[in-house]
C-alpha cells in the first residue's frame, strides 16, 4: 500500500507547470522534515519512479520513466469501460490465457489483463509471441452482441485502433497487413490474437490480445524473429512512455468498438483500407490446405481478403498467412 505522504508527494511532483520542487517547499507543504522528504523520494525511486534531484533547484519527476504498473495505468484513464477493471502481472504465461479464465468466471466487459512480460505469449495457430520485458502485452474482454461469423471484423477493428495508437508516436503511420499484423518499414511491430467463446449463433466473449514491441530490446529475441521484427524504440531511437501508450490504446479501441456497434463494419473497413498498402500488390496466401496467389484487392464486408487470381477470378480468403511479393 502507498502511504498518504507518498501519494501527496506524487501529486505535488505531478502538478502541471511545476518544473522543480524544492525540498523546503515539499517539507513545508507536507509538514515533515527535509530528511523525511529525502526518505520519501528514495522510496519512490525504489518503486521505479525516476526523480531527478538538482542542487539548489529541487526535485523533478521524469515523465517518460513513469513506472509501468496498475496504479499508473488506472490513474488518468479516460475510458468508460475498457480498463476500468485491470489485472496487472509482472510475469505471466499469457494475458490471453488469464483473460479467458476471467471471462469464463463472468468478468465484466472491458476487463483487461496487462503483463510486463510473458513466458508463453501466444500467436495465431499455436505460434509463439516473444514477450520480453519492456513490451506491451494486454488482453481485453469484450462481449459484443454479434454472431461468431462476424468475429473476424473485431480483429480488423483492433488492428485499426492499434495502428492509430502507434501512429501517434511515429513520423509515418504503420501499415496493416491482413489479417492483423502491423508493420513499420516491412517489419512487424505489433500482433493481434483474438480468441472467442461462442455458440453457433451467439458470441459469449472475445478476448482481444495485443502485443506491441515498445521498449523491449530486440537483440535478445531468437534470430529468426529479430530479423522480421522491429520496435517503437528501435524506430524512434528512444524509449517511449508505455503507460500513456496503453491508455491511448484503450481509448482508441473503445471508440472504434463503440462505432463498430453503432455504425457497423463500413467505417472500420474504410480505415483499414487507408492503413493498408496491400492493394494491387502480389500476395501469396499460405493456407493449411493450399496456396492462393494473385493481386490483393482489399477486404470485403466480412473482413475477408479479396485476391484477383491470374485467371481473373476473385477469391475470398478467410484465413492463412500472407506473404507480400511473389515468393
State the minimum distance, in angstroms, from the CB of residue 293 to ligand BT5.
Answer: 20
Q: Please, which residue, 129 or 272, has the CB nearer to ligand BT5?
A: 129
Q: Build a one-symbol-per-residue string for 204-243: x at contacts with ligand BT5 by CB under 6 A, - elsewhere.
A: -----xxx-x-----------x---x--------------
Q: Please, which residue, 22 or 284, has the CB nearer to ligand BT5?
A: 284
Choose, by CB under 6 A, the member of 68, 129, 205, 265 that binds ligand BT5.
Answer: 129
Stretch that binds ligand BT5, among 34-42, 189-197, 277-285, 309-317 (CB under 6 A): 189-197
Distance CA 128, CA 119 (A): 10
Q: Kindly list the distances between the CA atom of residue 49 and the CA atoms of 10, 59, 132, 325, in Å, as whole numbers in the listed order.
A: 10, 12, 21, 46
Decide: 197 and 103 in contact? Cβ < 8 Å. Answer: yes
The residues with which 92 forms a beta bridge, in sequence order, are 118
Site for ligand BT5 in 86-125 (CB under 6 A): 94-96, 118, 121-125
Instruction: Round the CA-based radius of gyration of the chain to a whole number and report it.
Output: 22
Q: Kindly list the distances between the CA atom of residue 219 and the CA atoms of 42, 156, 174, 222, in Å, as whole numbers in the listed order.
A: 32, 29, 21, 8
Site for ligand BT5 in 39-68 (CB under 6 A): none
What letter would DSSP give residue 193? Answer: E
Q: Which residue has the cell 484487392?
A: 297
Distance CA 55, CA 37 (A): 15
Q: Please, which residue, 110 or 211, has the CB nearer to ligand BT5?
A: 211
The C-alpha cell at 50 is 525516476
State the minimum distance, in angstroms, from the CB of residue 236 to ligand BT5.
Answer: 16
Binding residues for ligand BT5, per CB under 6 A? 94-96, 118, 121-125, 127-130, 137-139, 181, 188, 191-193, 209-211, 213, 225, 229
Amino acid at each position: 500500500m502507498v502511504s498518504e505522504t507518498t501519494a501527496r508527494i506524487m501529486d505535488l511532483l505531478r502538478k502541471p507547470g511545476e518544473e522543480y520542487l524544492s525540498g523546503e517547499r515539499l517539507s513545508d507543504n507536507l509538514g515533515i522534515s527535509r530528511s523525511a522528504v529525502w526518505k520519501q523520494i528514495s522510496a519512490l525511486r525504489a518503486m521505479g519512479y525516476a526523480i531527478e534531484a538538482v542542487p539548489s533547484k529541487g526535485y523533478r519527476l521524469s515523465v517518460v520513466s513513469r513506472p509501468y504498473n496498475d496504479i499508473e495505468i488506472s490513474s488518468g484513464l479516460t475510458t468508460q469501460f475498457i480498463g476500468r477493471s485491470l489485472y496487472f502481472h509482472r510475469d505471466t504465461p499469457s494475458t490471453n490465457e488469464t483473460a479467458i479464465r476471467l471471462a469464463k468466471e463472468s468478468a465484466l466487459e472491458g476487463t483487461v489483463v496487462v503483463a510486463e512480460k510473458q513466458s508463453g505469449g501466444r500467436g495465431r495457430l499455436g505460434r509463439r509471441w516473444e514477450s520480453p520485458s519492456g513490451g506491451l502485452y494486454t488482453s481485453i474482454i469484450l462481449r459484443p452482441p454479434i454472431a461468431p461469423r462476424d468475429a473476424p471484423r473485431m480483429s480488423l477493428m483492433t488492428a485499426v485502433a492499434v495502428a492509430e495508437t502507434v501512429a501517434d508516436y511515429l513520423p509515418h503511420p504503420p501499415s496493416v497487413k491482413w489479417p492483423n499484423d502491423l508493420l513499420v518499414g516491412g517489419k512487424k511491430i505489433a500482433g493481434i490474437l483474438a480468441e472467442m467463446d461462442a455458440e453457433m449463433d451467439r458470441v459469449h466473449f472475445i478476448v482481444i490480445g495485443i502485443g506491441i514491441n515498445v521498449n523491449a530490446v530486440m537483440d535478445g529475441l531468437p534470430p529468426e524473429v529479430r530479423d522480421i521484427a522491429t520496435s517503437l524504440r528501435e524506430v524512434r531511437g528512444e524509449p517511449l512512455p508505455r503507460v500513456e501508450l496503453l491508455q491511448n490504446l484503450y481509448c482508441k479501441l473503445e471508440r472504434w468498438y463503440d462505432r463498430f456497434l453503432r455504425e457497423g463494419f463500413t467505417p472500420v473497413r474504410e480505415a483499414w483500407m487507408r492503413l493498408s498498402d496491400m492493394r494491387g500488390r502480389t500476395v501469396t496466401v499460405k493456407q493449411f490446405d493450399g496456396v492462393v496467389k494473385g493481386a490483393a484487392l482489399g477486404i470485403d464486408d466480412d473482413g475477408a481478403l479479396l485476391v484477383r487470381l491470374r485467371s481473373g477470378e476473385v477469391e475470398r480468403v478467410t484465413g492463412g498467412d500472407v506473404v507480400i511479393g511473389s515468393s
